[in-house]
Amino acid sequence: MLIDGCTQGVISGNTVNDEILITNEADDILITGNRAETIRVADAVGQYSGAVLATIIANKAVQIVVDNSTRVHILDNEATWLSAVAGSDWCVIKGNILPYASGIPIWVEDSDDVQVLDNDVWGYGFGSSDAVVGVAGTSARTRIERNRYHGKSPGQAGTAHNHGVQIAATASAPIIGWNDWNRHLAAGPEIENLGSASIEWTDVQEVDFVHYPDAEVAESPIRKYFATDVEIISVFIVANDGPVGADLIANLHKDGSGTGIFTTAPNKPTVADGSNEGSTTVPDVTSVAAGSYLKVKFEQIGSTTPGGAVTVLLRYRRIF
């Protein structure tokens, strides 16, 4: 089925052997309840813009492709491959079921501000870099939240996917929240960041370790327990009464260990001599398992006057 340059249409309840193709500046199209090999909203001719404002909802197809088309919503479909590519900005891929996915089944390439939300995926990867969601090309600000990966479908060969998200070296600023896929991934890590894209985490939680008296070279008595596995995002330290004569340096110790999670000296949370605000750093050890706890230990407190009323702010996110 070819819908070429049309506007304000409904495509519903059709059974199509091959493809439903919406192209050439098609505008305001609803595609729902169809069965097709492929549903494609695209710039197929190569000289016009693709579609805008299309909604693809509750269809069954092998693949659903948005190509050079903006503001397309792919909602509540069943498919094995979903993609937004080549300038498909502001698209939403939400609530879909992918029961027999393989390779990288949700693919965002060269498209900005695409949201990948609440999808359920069963399937297997072919290779060590296969992820549930791929962010490729120059895609920016891809938001990935609340997706679930259930491992292989019953009877499927191969191995489970290795990663939740693969971020290409050329992609930037992905926004990633809580996704339930770690427990079924074959290898990991959860995020395969092939470059140095700075990830904005949306499910970050915070806890303050507050130490009111003057700091002592000792462990703080306060324990922070974690009910789930977590990843430490950053640690920030501040002293209302700044140390004098030397820096105030802290560390975080896990489960009473004698070694802190900061093993590299320059990374340790530090309030410089004569200052109040300290540094924000990422620890060398970022993972803390469910049931473990952290305590602050002051390794150095100042010489002439110790730092006092110290707060260590821990930012972390849950991992399931």
Partner 1 sequence: MSIIIDGTDADHIQVRNVLVENNSSTLGDHSIVVGNRGEVLNCEVDGGDYGIAAIDSAGESRVGSIMIQGNRVRNARTSVYSEKEDTTVSDNDLFMEGSSEYSVFIDGGDRAVVADNRIYNINGDDAIYLKDVTVFTVVGNIDGYDPGFG
Cβ closest to partner 1, residue 4 vs residue 255: 4
CA distance 140 to 174: 6
| Total residues at interface with partner 1 (CB under 8 A) | 19
Phi first, then psi: what are they for 303, rounded to 5°? -115, -60
What are the counts of helices (DSSP H) followed by strands (DSSP E) for the chain?
A: 0, 30
* Least spacing, CB of residue 73 vs partner 1, in Å: 19
* Least spacing, CB of residue 38 vs partner 1, in Å: 12
Residue 101 sits in the site that holds partner 1 (CB under 8 A): no
Taking a C-beta distance cutoff of 8 angstroms, is the pair 119, 143 a contact? no
Question: In 3D, which of 183, 188, 193 has the Cα closest to residue 163?
Answer: 188
Cβ closest to partner 1, residue 31 vs residue 296: 31
* Least spacing, CB of residue 69 vs partner 1, in Å: 17
With contacts defined by CB under 8 A, name the span among 1-9, 130-138, 182-190, 206-214 that binds partner 1: 1-9
* Least spacing, CB of residue 50 vs partner 1, in Å: 16
Which 38-77 positions form the footprint of partner 1 (CB under 8 A)?
none
Cβ closest to partner 1, residue 65 vs residue 98: 65
With contacts defined by CB under 8 A, name the span among 3-11, 153-161, 226-234, 243-251 that binds partner 1: 3-11
CA atoms 51, 54, 59, 62: torsion sign: positive
Print the binding letters for residues 12-31 with partner 1: x by CB under 8 A, - otherwise. xxxxxx-x-x----------
Q: Which H or E element spans position 222?
A: none
Cβ closest to partner 1, residue 2 vs residue 289: 2
Single out the residue of 7, 228, 259, 280 in contact with partner 1 (rule: CB under 8 A): 7
Amino acid 149 reads Y
Question: In 3D, which of 179, 181, 237 has the Cα closest to residue 211?
Answer: 237
Q: For the stretch 179-196, what's the b/e string if a residue is b when 16 or more beta carbons lie within 10 angstroms of its beta carbon?
A: bebeebbbeeebbbbeee
Question: In 3D, which of 29, 28, 32 has the Cα closest to residue 57?
Answer: 32
* Least spacing, CB of residue 44 vs partner 1, in Å: 11
With contacts defined by CB under 8 A, name the span among 4-12, 106-114, 271-279, 311-319 that binds partner 1: 4-12
With contacts defined by CB under 8 A, name the span among 10-18, 267-275, 282-290, 303-311 that binds partner 1: 10-18
Strand order across the beta sheet in which 270-271 lies:
224-225, 293-301, 248-254, 270-271
With contacts defined by CB under 8 A, name the span among 11-19, 61-69, 96-104, 137-145 that binds partner 1: 11-19
Taking a C-beta distance cutoff of 8 angstroms, is the pair 278, 296 a contact? no
- Report helix, strand or coil for 11: strand
In the numeric block, which tokens belong to residue 229? 């596995």
Cβ closest to partner 1, residue 8 vs residue 228: 8
Cβ closest to partner 1, residue 15 vs residue 47: 15
Residue 2 sits in the site that holds partner 1 (CB under 8 A): yes
Residues that bind partner 1 (CB under 8 A): 1-17, 19, 21
